[in-house]
Amino acid sequence: MFWWQEDVGQGVRVAFTDRGAGNLALHTGDDAGAVRTRRRALEGAMGVPAGSLLFLDQVHGTAVADADDPALPPVPTADAAVSADGAPLAVMVADCVPVVLVGRGQHGPVTAVAHAGRRGLLDGVLERTVEQLRDRGADALAAWIGPSICGGCYEVPAAMQEESVRRIPAVAATTTWGTPSLDLPAGARDRLAALGVTVAGPAGASCTRENERLSSHRRDPGSGRIAGLVWRTAPADPAQGAA
């Protein structure tokens, strides 16, 4: 179910699922009841209350949902989410870059997830997410970049590569067969470093197109979506947050 998971401190856990968790998306033509059953099983494995894990209606934009807003729709249209109250957060991908972030707040950890596809990465979804974390008083920000398509596999037209490289030079790449491509994980690492965010892992992140344990729209459009996750495993410690 989990491709990788780790206790990252402050009573917070970060994880990325693999296809063992099944398709977690409602927009891929899968049976909605089966998807909801898988989501409940995932919540059980995480140890969070049923129905508490926030999923997003992702549109390759830069909007950041406030997961602590009581008026938030059950499935907000956004490509990132932030919580200072410990809401469990999910971001779905099948080649795009899932980014999970954790910061130290005045009253405990502040957490976030972001969906950094090509368009969102270029348009500033990571910048918007980090801005929202800092607006909530978070510092000492760390990020975990999960499985996504690698630069050796993400072939794009030359004009698209040129446009992208003008905005984020670090995404320039070439496929293993010698055509123009983009390295979205490298672009995400570049943007996070420029924002003063420590990229903490996981080590050896895998290419979704190459690894059949992972969902890849390019390899198999029917493989569904995996997820990046962040949740609290213990109540916030105000003394730790103020350290």
Residue pLDDT, tens place only, 36-71:
999 999 999 999 999 999 999 999 999 999 999 999
Contact between 98 and 148 under an 8 Å Cβ cutoff? The reply is yes
Q: How far is CA 13 from CA 62, 178, 195, in A?
A: 24, 39, 23
Position 161 confidence tier, pLDDT thresholds 50, 70, 90: very high
Contact between 65 and 31 under an 8 Å Cβ cutoff? The reply is no
Q: pLDDT at residue 157 above 70?
A: yes
Q: pLDDT at residue 22 above 70?
A: yes
Sequence-distant (6+) residues with CB within 8 A of 242 are 106, 107
For residue 143, the model assigns a pLDDT of 97
Question: Can you give the pTM of this predicted structure?
Answer: 0.94
Interstrand relation of 108-116 and 97-105 (parallel, antiparallel or unpaired)? antiparallel
What is the maximum span of the chain, computed from C-alpha positions, in angstroms? Answer: 54
For residue 200, the model assigns a pLDDT of 85
Q: pLDDT at residue 223 above 80?
A: yes
Q: Across-strand partners of 220?
A: none
Interstrand relation of 64-66 and 12-17 (parallel, antiparallel or unpaired)? unpaired
Tell me: cis bond preceding 185? Omega within 30 of 0 counts. Answer: no
Sequence-distant (6+) residues with CB within 8 A of 196 are 141
First to last CA, the chain: 35
For residue 98, the model assigns a pLDDT of 97
Q: pLDDT at residue 203 above 60?
A: no
Give helix 125-135 / helix 184-194 axis angle, nearest 10°: 30
For residue 222, the model assigns a pLDDT of 82
For residue 186, the model assigns a pLDDT of 96
Position 201 confidence tier, pLDDT thresholds 50, 70, 90: confident
Contact between 94 and 216 under an 8 Å Cβ cutoff? The reply is yes
For residue 237, the model assigns a pLDDT of 56
2-140+202-237 maps to which CATH number? 3.60.140.10
Q: What is the mean pLDDT of the chain?
A: 93
Planar angle of CA 16, 243, 113, nearest 5 degrees:
25
The letter for the amino acid at 138 is A
